[in-house]
């Protein structure tokens, strides 16, 4: 069935498209991107797709992309160094759902456990912990955004009788800091803590670290129990989505058989988007491992270019190793708003995602410097 929109409504859509086209050219502060032409997948919009339940089990509802979802999970297992360990997962609605899944599994494994997370952890995690009714303690962060391991050690020592659930950031939201998994495991060992769970939030960095020459520990070979990655950030699916992986033994604790759909369910949502696995599969097949390596190398080069350009204009900027997040002092609020730059306290950041070019960096810094100088001139002007 096809109907034509009234002229007024069509104009609204045209205006929206025009605004999006402009805003997309001034979006350098958030970790989203769009570098792949997904138009070959347009015919699949005609179908009522639902990836309900476990992608590894047959279902009586057949309008799904479970086959492609399994291939996506297998690819992520490879880049996240699952090796021969029994790890499975599924395509989520985004990084937050992946983190919720990790906390759900952890709470089921360690019902009375305490979740430890740093103050630089994504804002959604506190909400997740309330939703799964998990006890938690916030750990201090270092000035660069990484977890304060001395505070973690002291706090764990005070609660040694309660199994810990560590929520580790593999790339914090504001500063791109990576919590050191080796240090965390050493602390657990030194305190003789036998039962624990480590979940890794690798929303963006999970698609960076597998493609660099010298990554920090981040995957299953580093001893994690589960990990969440966003597919909306990198490689840039047009709708929010992500991938969550966990050790099979943990997943088995929550899987349930559902007669109505003729399959088991081990997910959070049950009904899930059947298009997003197809989009992720398409990106993986289009770019391949080497394609991602080339993209990350170029993004890293632009990060360094941005830092150099800031320095040339007398502005201090920095980034963590293997991070695309360039942090600089917060200033010129209207310019930050124009370029959709994220801020927190005294800091601002730009993220050199694949769509951010050297020209974007030059235009932004030119605007920033001009606005800052104008403000300083106004402050020093003598009233008439």
Q: Which residues are catalytic?
A: 323
CA 172, CA 159: separation in Å to the nearest integer? 26
Query: What residues have CB less than 8 Å from 315, skipping those under 6 apart?
Result: 328, 329, 365, 368, 369
Tokens 């932004």 belong to 364
Query: Residue 174: which of 318, 52, 364 has the closest Cα?
Result: 318
**Which tokens is 96 given?**
């937050």
CB atoms < 10 A from the CB of 102, how many?
A: 28
Tokens 């109505």 belong to 260
**Which tokens is 31 given?**
């970790």
CB atoms < 10 A from the CB of 159, how many?
A: 15
**Which tokens is 259 given?**
């007669």
CA 63, CA 274: separation in Å to the nearest integer? 8
Tokens 């124009």 belong to 338
């Amino acid at each position: 069935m096809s109907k034509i929109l009234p002229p007024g409504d069509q104009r609204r859509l045209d205006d929206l498209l025009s605004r999006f086209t402009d805003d997309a050219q001034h979006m350098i502060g958030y970790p989203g991107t769009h570098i792949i032409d997904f138009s070959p997948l347009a015919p699949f919009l005609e179908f009522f797709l639902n990836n309900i339940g476990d992608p590894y089990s047959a279902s009586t509802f057949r309008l799904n992309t479970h086959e492609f979802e399994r291939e996506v999970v297998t690819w992520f297992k490879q880049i996240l160094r699952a090796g021969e360990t029994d790890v499975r997962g599924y395509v989520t609605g985004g990084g937050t759902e992946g983190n919720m899944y990790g906390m759900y599994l952890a709470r089921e494994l360690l019902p009375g456990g305490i979740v430890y997370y740093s103050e630089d952890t994504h804002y959604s995690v506190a909400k997740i912990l309330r939703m799964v009714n998990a006890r938690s303690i916030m750990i201090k962060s270092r000035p660069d955004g990484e977890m304060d391991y001395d505070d973690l050690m002291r706090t764990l020592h005070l609660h040694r009788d309660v199994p810990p659930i560590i929520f580790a950031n593999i790339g914090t939201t504001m500063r791109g800091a990576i919590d050191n998994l080796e240090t965390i495991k050493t602390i657990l060992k030194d305190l003789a803590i036998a039962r624990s769970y480590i979940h890794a939030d690798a929303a963006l960095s999970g698609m960076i670290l597998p493609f660099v020459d010298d990554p920090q520990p981040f995957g299953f070979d580093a001893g994690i129990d589960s990990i969440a990655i966003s597919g909306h950030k990198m490689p840039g699916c047009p709708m929010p989505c992500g991938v969550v992986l966990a050790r099979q033994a943990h997943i088995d604790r929550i899987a349930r058989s559902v007669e109505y759909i003729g399959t088991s369910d081990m997910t959070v949502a049950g009904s899930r988007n059947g298009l997003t696995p197809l989009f992720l599969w398409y990106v993986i097949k289009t770019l391949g491992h080497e394609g991602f390596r080339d993209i990350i190398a170029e993004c890293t080069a632009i990060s360094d270019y941005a830092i150099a350009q800031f320095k040339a204009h007398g502005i201090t900027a920095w980034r963590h190793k293997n991070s695309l997040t360039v942090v600089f002092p917060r200033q010129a609020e209207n310019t930050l708003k124009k370029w959709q730059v994220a801020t927190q306290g005294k800091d601002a950041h730009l993220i050199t995602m694949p769509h951010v070019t050297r020209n974007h960096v030059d235009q932004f810094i030119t605007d920033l410097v001009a606005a800052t100088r104008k403000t300083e001139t106004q402050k020093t002007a003598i009233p008439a």
